[in-house]
Structure 1
Amino acid sequence: AARLGPVLVQTNGRLLATKGLLERLCRAGLGAIEVSLAGAKAALHAWHTGTEVGFGEATQGLKAAIASGVPTSVSSVVTRSSYRHLSALVEAASRLGAGAVHLALARPYGRARAAVQRIVPPASLVQESVQAALLHARRRRLPTFVSGMPLCLLRGFEESALELHYPAAEPGREHLPPCEACTLRAHCPGLPAGLPGALDLPSLSPEHRDLGDALARARQRWAEAARLFAGLGAVPAHPAPGAGPAAGSC
C-alpha cells in the first residue's frame, strides 16, 4: 500500500490503542486516520453503535493515534438523536487534540433506510445546532467541515461545506422548487432524494449572490486540512516503484 501513496483510514478507532498496531500501520503506508464518534458522551455513542465499551475504546484509540503523530480527525454522523450535542463533540475533539472535525448529516442509506424518520433529521431541524458547533469550532480554531447541508442554511459558514470541494453532485440527492433560482445551486448538495421535503421547504430560500470570499476561505481551509480526511483530498501522485513510503506517511 505504501507504494501507492499515503493510505487514509476511516475507523471506529476501537483497536487503535492495541500495542504495536499503529507502528505496523505506519510501516504499511498509513497517512491519516479519521475516527468516528457518535457524540462526546459514552451513552450517546453506545445508543448509536450498540456497544457499551465502544466509546472508551474509541477515545483511547483516538488519543493513541494523536500521540503517535499520525494526522488524525474526528467524524460524526448527525442524527435526530445527536444533533443537539454537536458543540460538545467539537469541544471534546479540540481537547483531545484532533486536527479537524467532519459533521455529516445522516443519509437514508444502510441501516438508516429502514428507520428514516427516527434517524435522518431534516436539515432545517439541525441548522441551529450545526451553526453553533461551527461557531464553537471557529473560536477553538479547529477546522470543521459539514456535508449534506444546503448552503442557504449555512449562511456565514459556507466555507465549511465539504461540497465546495466536489465538482460533481452526489448521487441520490435533489433540489426542491425554491432551489431553481438559487445562484448557489451548482455548489449546493441539496437534500436526500425521496425524503419528504415538507419540513425543509419553508426554510429554503433562493440566494442571489456568489460565494466570493467564502470560496477563497474554503480553498485555504481545505488546503490546510484535506490530508486529514479519508478519501476526501486530491489523489496524491504515485511514487516511483521501489521508492518506499510516500512523503507524509507516519
Structure 2
Amino acid sequence: MKALIKVGYSCNDHCSFCHTLEIRHIDGDTAEIDGKIRRAAALGHTMIVLSGGEPTIRPELTHWARLSASLGLDFGLVTNGRMLAYKALVDELCEHRLRYIYLSLHGGTAKIHNLMVRSDAFEQTYGALDNLSGRGLDLHINCVVTTRNVDHLRPLVDSVLPYRDATVKFSMVEPKGGGSRLFDHLMPRVAEAAAKIREAIAYGEEKAAGQGPRFRHGALPLCLMPGYEDRFDDLKTHAYRTMIEIGEPDFFPVDDANKLHPPACAGCSLRGPCPGLYRGYHEVFGADELRPKRDAPRSNSFNYVYEAMVTAADDPAGPCPILADGVTPWDRGRDLMIQHGPRIARYRAQTRDFSDVELAAIKHGTGQVYVDISRKPAPDDFAADLVKLDRSPRCAGCPAEETCAGLFVASEVDVFSRDDALVRAALAQLEGDVLDLGCGEAPYFSALAPRLAAGAITYVGVDPDARAVAAIRRRAPKAELVVGEAEALGDASDPLGLGDRRFDHALLLRSWNHLRAPAAVVAAIAARLRPGGTLTIVDNVAFGLARTPAQTRRAEASRARFEHYRNDDADEAAAIVGAAAPTLAEVERREVGPTTSNQWVLRFAAPT
C-alpha cells in the first residue's frame, strides 16, 4: 500500500517529454516532506515512494529513508538512477528499508537514451541497474515511448536481458509538460506505438524464455494490445493508493483523470482495466484507431474487502470521523466506510474489472452496494444473502457530500423482495402465448406456472443450457422447451423450430445482459409479436459486495464464470430497443437508484 510523495521538480536530466518541464524550479522543503511522510504512516500506508523531479539529488534523501523506516514504512524511489550508480548510497538506502525502484531508461544505447533525456546519463543509469539488480528489490524499468525511440525498442530489450529480476515497462508518452509543448515532435500515433510495443514484448519474452526480465505496457488502450491485455501496468498494479504534489494540503487517490474512454468504448469488454486514451491525445487525433472488443463476457459484480476498523466512535451521532480526519485521501469509488453502531469499518475494492468512473457510479449513482451475509461463493438468493447499504443520513447536506467516499449504514428495507414482487404480480396477469428467451433457471416460473396449469397461457422457453431446460421440463410438463441461443430467433434456417409462430408476450428475464447481440434479438422478437403484444425485460446493473477476506477468497476460488456481455441499465437497454424496433412503444420503466434493488424493468407494446 504505497503513497507517492513528490519532493520537488528539479532534476539532473532534462527529458524532452518531462511532465514538470515548466516547474523545475519548485522544490518542497524538508519540513513539508517530513510531514507528508508522517501523514502517510498515519493513513495506514506501508510504503512511501519519493518522486520528483529527481528525488535522489536531494541532500535529505537518506534522512527521509531513515524517517520512513523509523515509522515502520518501507521506502521506494521513482528515479533516473544516476545517483544510484554510487554503490555506497544504494547500500545505505537498503539499510533503511529500500524495497522498490521505478527506474527511467529510454534507450538501449547511449545515443538513444541520452537523446531522450538530453544529458550524458547512459553510463550512470546502467550503473544504477548493476547496483540495484540482485538485491531482492522490487525493481522496475520504465521506458517512455516517443517518436524518438519507438523504432529502437529491441535494442533496449537486449540491453536489459541480464537483469532477470527486473520488470520492464513500455509507456506511451503523456501529452503533459514537455509532452504537450512538443506534441507534434514527440507524439507517435497510439496504434503505431502499440504495434511496436507488442513486437518488443514478444521479442523480450522469447529472449527471456521465462527466466526474466518480465515485460509490461502502460497508457495504451487494451484493444490495441491483443494477446497482451494482461500485461498492462499502472499505479494501481503497483499498489499505489495515494499521491501528493508540492503545495497540496493532503493526499489524493491515484486516478486516471488524465485519460478518457470516448463513446467508441461503450460496451467494450476490456473497459474495466483499460486506461483509454490520454485526453490531450484524443483532442488531436480522436478515437478512430480504437478497436473495441464486445464479444467477451465481463463481471457484473465486485468485492469490497474488509481492511480495518477505522475508529471506535463514542458518539455515533457526533462529528463525522471521515470529515474530521480528512476527506481527500479516500477514493470515492474504491474505499467504503460502513458504520456498525459505534464502530466504523473500512473496506477496499481492488478490482480491475471496473474502471474508477464505473465504481463511483455504482456506489454513489445507482447506490448498489451490499454486505454479503452468506457463506456462499456466490449469492443466489439476494433477499436472504445480501443487506443493502445506504448513504448515512449524516452525509445529507455535508459540503463534502459530492466528493467524499461517504459513510454507509445498513438499510432496513428488503429491496429485493419488494421489487421482485412487482415483477411477479405483472407476470401473473399474462394471457396468451408466451415466449421466454434465456429462461435459464426460471427464477420467475413460479409466477407463470399457475397460469400455464390453468390454460391461460402457453409457454415456450429457450435457453442454451440443456440442464436448466431439463429442470424446467421436470417442473412443468406442459411447457414447450428448446435448447438454443436467443440470438437464433431471427435465423432464417429456424434452428429453434418455431416456424412462423407469433406470440402475445415475449420475456427477457435476467437474460438481457447475457445476450451477445441484443439489437438483433429485439428485432426478431418484434417481428413475432402479435398486434398489442408486449416485450418485458428485467435485468440487473452491476453491484458491489462488502466481504471479509475469507469470503473473498472463497468467492474468487469458485468456478463461476463471467456470463454478462454488458451491465446495461434501463436507459441503455431502452436505447437499443428503440433503435432496433422503433415500432415498439415503451409503456413501463422502473429504473435502479439508491432506494431500489439492482433490478430494472422495461415493458414495450407492439402497435395494435
TM-score by length of 2: 0.33
Q: Which structure is higher in strand share?
A: 2
Contact 1:12 1:37 in 2 (8 A): yes
* Structure 1 residues 190 and 16: alpha-carbon distance in aligned structure 2, compared to 1, 3 A threshold: same
Match of 2:224 among 153, 157, 173: 153
Give the 5 Å matches for 1:12-31. Answer: 12-31=80-99
Alignment correspondent of 2:167: 100
Give the 5 Å matches for 1:232-247. Answer: none
Letter in 1 for 2:147: R
Deviates more, 1:135-144 or 1:125-134: 135-144
The Cα of 1:98 is off from its aligned counterpart by 4.4
Alignment correspondent of 2:77: 9
Letter in 1 for 2:281: L
The Cα of 1:173 is off from its aligned counterpart by 1.0
Q: 1:133-190: CA deviations, max 9, x gaps?
A: 1112322133211111101101111011125848985012122332123222222111
Give the 5 Å matches for 1:81-230. Answer: 81-139=148-206, 140=208, 141=210, 142-162=213-233, 165=237, 170-196=256-282, 199=285, 201-210=287-296
Unaligned runs of 5+ in 1: 213-233, 235-250
Contact 1:124 1:200 in 2 (8 A): no
- Give the match's secondary structure for 2:162: helix
- Give the match's secondary structure for 1:185: coil
Q: 1:203-241: CA deviations, max 9, x gaps?
A: 3122113478xxxxxxxxxxxxxxxxxxxxx9xxxxxxx
Letter in 1 for 2:292: P
Contact 1:122 1:200 in 2 (8 A): no
Unaligned runs of 5+ in 2: 1-67, 242-253, 299-349, 351-608
The Cα of 1:199 is off from its aligned counterpart by 4.8
The Cα of 1:197 is off from its aligned counterpart by 5.9
Letter in 2 for 1:158: E
Contact 1:184 1:209 in 2 (8 A): no
Relative contact order (C-alpha < 8 Å, sep 6+): which is higher?
1
TM-score by length of 1: 0.76
The percent of aligned pairs where both chains have the same amino acid is 25
Contact 1:87 1:129 in 2 (8 A): no
Contact 1:13 1:35 in 2 (8 A): yes
- Give the match's secondary structure for 1:81: coil
Q: 1:20-55: CA deviations, max 9, x gaps?
A: 111110122100222211110101111111112x00
Letter in 1 for 2:261: H
Letter in 2 for 1:115: L
Letter in 2 for 1:22: V
Letter in 1 for 2:256: E
Letter in 1 for 2:174: R
Equivalent-residue separation in structure 2 for 1:137 and 1:200 (angstroms): 31
Deviates more, 1:105-114 or 1:95-104: 95-104
The Cα of 1:69 is off from its aligned counterpart by 4.3
The Cα of 1:19 is off from its aligned counterpart by 4.0
Contact 1:17 1:64 in 2 (8 A): yes
Q: Which structure is higher in helix share?
A: 1
Equivalent-residue separation in structure 1 for 2:150 and 2:165 (angstroms): 20
Q: 1:40-93: CA deviations, max 9, x gaps?
A: 0101111111112x0011101111111444342211111111111222212211
- Give the match's secondary structure for 1:76: strand
Equivalent-residue separation in structure 2 for 1:145 and 1:210 (angstroms): 22
Letter in 2 for 1:47: L
Give the paired residue count.
212
- Give the match's secondary structure for 2:78: strand
